[in-house]
């Protein structure tokens, strides 16, 4: 059993393959956090709750209840009653005051994992996962709260979510509902996060935890380029292979907070959930609110094990697409080839050359609809521009299919242009504050997806186009953040629900899309990587990682992304040079090797590149097909990091059974007067013998892992090498 209730000790014990999580109850019914860490061989004990020392529990020392609440390790702290650290639940009653105190009432342990209404969530068969529900109650408010813990033992992952129910007669307001909390003593922790910006998303940042609150968050209506719904607390000695790691990742695509607070007594509170700014949910009698899911994992073998836990979990228990392990076509996207300046003839010319090179899909990006000749019009008018596609979309798709290629298309369904027929007809469909001129970004507004008719309209526009022709792939984009947070649909008492309802609207549309078109390959995008989060992976097996496809910039971006997410989830293309974002020139071979670490494709005008580069494409396509299964299923190891001030970058993907491993080495900057470099492989079988593909070299697994493999030092920046080791 993964979950046990030790009734005599009043302890819930949650065990995975390598970890144990302990929850304890006080005599009054407070739900306390006892322990999360390496797997315990025996039963847990509640002495770690410190109930035997001052200020004692309220049943022993009622006069110091606040002192108790302000120190006790809570599983789910509430606001307004004496715990002055960060709360997870703030409830405002009809009288206008905030105060909530939850005490345990009952529990249920079940096989399997319930779905979450309207939200993306993990899943698993009964033999793979067990779920604990702890029901608590505030007897003054008649508020019932279910704390849910699902234990995925083989992945060393525990997911958490919270459901709040109004069982009373008061009209309550939820002003904060987080999804997870972890209280523990400080171990000289450092905080690791993934900040960034457009075209440089998800840089790895690590720094010492200080007294007070340190947080990352988004108030942009999406998980954002600038921050990421991930946080880890690590001990100072933590490397890829050693050290303790406590990590959280949020299965949500809107505003979030991830915060660590080092409090006065040296204890740490780590929380994650929906950001409370501009959030207020009406909870009328009989209503309930379901908070999104949070993924927790613990590693005592460094960041590498944390990474592989997340990868295995997302592949096995979150991504539902048939393309998860299936063959994905090598595509070419026309965006950086043509931008808005294209027509049918230009697209067909690209397709013909791409087909000769072995590329399997043409993707038509922005500019095919309405009067869209620049980014300042027509969003919302999803009708084909027949001045560009002179014989219509079905005919274009037919001609591409007749070449033996599949066809894909770009949409931005959540947006509306001020210069559009839709806006002229329905200006109230845009998110806006009444009486205030809305703020434009990229000359566009955001549709109010809290309105059911807007969700229906936006979805039907996409569905109608997909029904009109055999389209195999959709790139779903979202190119601006949310502001002017107001809805003419919601009443004045419900405006605080808009941001969450917007995200629910996105989820509803994408759920309808994959159900109506189950063989569709959906790739999410948000100006690149602004909505690269677990919530989106529930609907699409890959997400456009960044609008910056420069191979050297992608080393850092893809390293940060792969810290949490499987390689095959990263949309990664070979781009043109000079690169359109940074102007850098890199070898075509290096661009291919770096893009191989993700979902492989091309972002260039194949009709204009050099013959030398064009001749490399068939080999790169063959390379992609050869290694794609390994990239989709294998274990990822970070062997060296250019962003950590190495002159080179290196990563490995190894088959789980140790039968093969692919190492990618990128010499970012050549160094004078240097000898060869050792790289030390991981995940091999010590006693097995491995051949290096393309050579007659033979090594034992023990040699490659303990003694290392020598990479030559050669002249030239931005050079790259692939090393494929195969078990004999």
Q: Is the same domain home to 77 and 149?
A: yes
Q: What is the mean pLDDT of the chain?
A: 97
Last residue of some domain: 584, 608, 633?
633
- The distance between the two most distant Cα atoms of the chain, rounded to a whole number of Å, is 83
pLDDT digit string (tens) for 233-284? 999 999 999 999 999 999 999 999 999 999 999 999 999 999 999 999 999 9
Whether 440 is in a domain gets the answer: no
Cβ-in-10-Å burial (0-12, 13-18, 19+) of 492 comes to: exposed
Whether 371 is in a domain gets the answer: yes
Strands (E), 373-429: 406-411, 415-416
Asked if pLDDT for residue 1 goes beyond 90, the answer is: no
Phi, psi for 187 (deg, rounded to 5): -120, 40
Q: Please tell me the predicted confidence (pLDDT) of residue 646.
A: 81
Q: Is the same domain home to 715 and 597?
A: no
Q: Is the same domain home to 117 and 31?
A: yes
Q: Is the same domain home to 524 and 623?
A: yes
Whether 356 is in a domain gets the answer: yes
Q: Is the same domain home to 295 and 380?
A: no
Across residues 218-245, what is the average pLDDT? 98
C-alpha closest to that of 594 among 634, 543, 642, 533: 642
Q: Is the same domain home to 501 and 392?
A: yes
C-alpha closest to that of 525 among 413, 682, 380, 360: 413
Q: Is the same domain home to 261 and 407?
A: no
pLDDT band at 169 (very low <50, low <70, confident <90, very high): very high
Q: Is the same domain home to 621 and 581?
A: yes
Whether 290 is in a domain gets the answer: yes
Whether 276 is in a domain gets the answer: yes
Is there a contact between 274 and 255 (Cβ–Cβ < 8 Å)?
Answer: yes
pLDDT digit string (tens) for 668-707? 999 999 999 999 999 999 999 999 999 999 999 999 999 9
Whether 260 is in a domain gets the answer: yes
Q: Please tell me the predicted confidence (pLDDT) of residue 129.
A: 98
CATH number of 406's domain: 3.20.20.70
Count: domains in the chain:
3
Q: Is the same domain home to 220 and 345?
A: no
**Annotation says 547 is catalytic:** yes
Q: Please tell me the predicted confidence (pLDDT) of residue 659.
A: 98
Structural tokens at position 285: 């009698």
Instruction: List the domain range (segments joined by +) for residue 166.
Output: 3-317
Q: Is the same domain home to 376 and 501?
A: yes
Q: Is the same domain home to 234 and 217?
A: yes
pLDDT band at 479 (very low <50, low <70, confident <90, very high): very high
Structural tokens at position 552: 């050297």
Q: Is the same domain home to 520 and 375?
A: yes
Structural tokens at position 333: 């996207």
Helix locations, 236-388, DSSP H: 302-317, 335-338, 344-356
CATH number of 32's domain: 2.70.98.60
Q: Please tell me the predicted confidence (pLDDT) of residue 644.
A: 84
pTM over 0.95: yes
Last residue of some domain: 287, 317, 347?
317
Across residues 159-169, what is the average pLDDT? 98
C-alpha closest to that of 675 among 718, 711, 623, 648: 711
CATH number of 655's domain: 2.60.40.1180
Q: For residue 433, count other CB atoms closer than 10 A to its CB.
A: 15
Exactly one of 547, 548, 550, 649 is catalytic; name it.
547
Whether 30 is in a domain gets the answer: yes
Exactly one of 477, 533, 605, 649 is catalytic; name it.
477
> What is the rounded CA–CA span in Å between residue 400 and residue 345?
11
Q: Please tell me the predicted confidence (pLDDT) of residue 109.
A: 98
Is there a contact between 130 and 111 (Cβ–Cβ < 8 Å)?
Answer: yes
Whether 430 is in a domain gets the answer: no
**Annotation says 477 is catalytic:** yes
Q: Please tell me the predicted confidence (pLDDT) of residue 571.
A: 98
Last residue of some domain: 317, 343, 374?
317
pLDDT digit string (tens) for 638-673? 999 998 878 999 999 999 999 999 999 999 999 999
């Amino acid at each position: 059993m993964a979950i046990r209730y030790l009734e005599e000790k009043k302890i819930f014990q949650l065990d995975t393959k390598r970890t144990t999580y302990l929850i304890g109850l006080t005599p009054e019914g407070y739900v306390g956090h006892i322990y999360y860490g390496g797997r315990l061989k025996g039963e847990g004990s509640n002495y770690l709750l410190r109930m035997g020392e001052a200020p004692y529990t309220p049943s022993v020392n009622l006069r110091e209840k606040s002192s108790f609440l302000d120190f006790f390790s809570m599983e789910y702290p509430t606001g307004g009653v004496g715990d002055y650290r960060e709360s997870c639940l703030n409830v405002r009653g009809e009288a206008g005051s905030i105060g909530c105190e939850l005490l345990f009432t009952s529990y249920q342990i079940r096989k399997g994992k319930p779905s979450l209404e309207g939200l993306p969530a993990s899943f698993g068969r009964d033999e793979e996962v067990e779920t604990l529900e702890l029901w608590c109650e505030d007897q003054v408010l008649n508020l019932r709260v279910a704390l849910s813990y699902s234990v995925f033992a083989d992945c060393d992952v525990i997911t958490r979510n919270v459901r709040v129910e109004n069982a009373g007669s008061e009209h309550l307001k939820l002003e904060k509902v987080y999804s997870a909390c972890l209280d523990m003593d400080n171990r000289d922790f450092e905080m690791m996060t993934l900040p960034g910006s457009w075209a440089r998303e998800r840089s790895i940042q690590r720094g010492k935890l200080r007294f007070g609150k340190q947080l990352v968050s988004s108030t942009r209506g999406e998980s954002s380029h600038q921050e990421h719904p991930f946080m880890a607390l690590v001990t100072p000695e933590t490397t890829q292979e050693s050290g303790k790691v406590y990590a959280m990742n949020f299965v949500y695509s809107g505003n979030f907070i991830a915060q660590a607070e080092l409090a006065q007594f040296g204890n740490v509170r780590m929380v994650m959930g929906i950001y409370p700014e501009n959030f207020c949910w009406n909870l009328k009698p009989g209503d309930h609110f379901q908070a999104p899911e949070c993924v927790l994992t613990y590693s005592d073998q460094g960041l590498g094990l944390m990474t592989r836990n997340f990868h295995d979990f997302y592949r096995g228990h979150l991504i539902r697409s048939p393309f998860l392990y299936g063959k994905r076509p090598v595509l070419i996207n026309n965006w950086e080839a043509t931008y808005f300046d294209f027509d049918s003839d230009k697209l067909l010319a690209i397709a013909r050359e791409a087909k000769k090179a072995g590329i399997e899909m043409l993707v038509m990006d922005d500019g095919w609809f309405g009067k869209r000749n620049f980014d300042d019009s027509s969003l919302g008018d999803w009708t084909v521009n027949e001045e560009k596609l002179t014989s219509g979309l079905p005919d274009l798709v037919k001609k591409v299919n007749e070449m033996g290629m599949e066809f894909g298309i770009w949409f931005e369904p959540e947006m509306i242009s001020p210069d559009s027929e839709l806006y002229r007809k329905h200006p109230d469909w845009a998110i806006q504050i009444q009486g205030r001129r809305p703020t434009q970004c990229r000359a566009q507004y955001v549709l109010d997806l809290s309105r059911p008719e807007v969700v229906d309209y936006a979805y039907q526009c996409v569905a109608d186009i997909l029904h009109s022709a055999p389209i195999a792939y959709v790139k779903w984009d979202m190119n601006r953040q949310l502001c002017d947070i107001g809805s003419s649909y919601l009443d004045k008492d419900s405006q605080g629900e808009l941001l969450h309802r917007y995200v629910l609207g996105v989820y509803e549309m994408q759920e309808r899309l994959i159900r109506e078109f189950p063989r569709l390959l959906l790739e999410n995008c948000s100006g690149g990587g602004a909505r690269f989060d677990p919530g989106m992976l529930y609907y699409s097996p890959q997400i456009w990682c960044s609008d910056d496809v420069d191979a050297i910039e992608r080393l850092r971006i893809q390293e940060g992304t792969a810290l949490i997410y499987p390689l095959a989830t990263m949309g990664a293309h070979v781009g043109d040079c000079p690169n359109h974002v940074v102007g850098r020139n890199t070898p075509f071979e290096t661009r291919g090797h770096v893009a191989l670490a993700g979902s492989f494709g091309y972002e260039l005008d194949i009709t204009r590149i050099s013959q030398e580069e064009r001749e490399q494409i068939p080999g790169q396509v063959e390379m992609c097909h050869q290694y794609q299964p390994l990239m989709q299923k294998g274990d990822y190891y970070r062997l060296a990091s250019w962003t950590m001030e190495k002159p080179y970058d290196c990563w490995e993907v190894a088959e789980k059974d140790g039968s093969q491993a692919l190492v990618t080495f990128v010499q970012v900057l050549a160094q004078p007067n240097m000898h060869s470099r050792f790289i030390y492989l991981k995940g091999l079988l010590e006693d097995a013998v491995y051949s290096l593909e393309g050579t007659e070299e033979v090594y034992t697994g023990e040699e490659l892992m303990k003694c290392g493999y020598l990479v030559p030092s050669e002249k030239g920046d931005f050079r790259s090498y692939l090393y494929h080791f195969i078990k004999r």
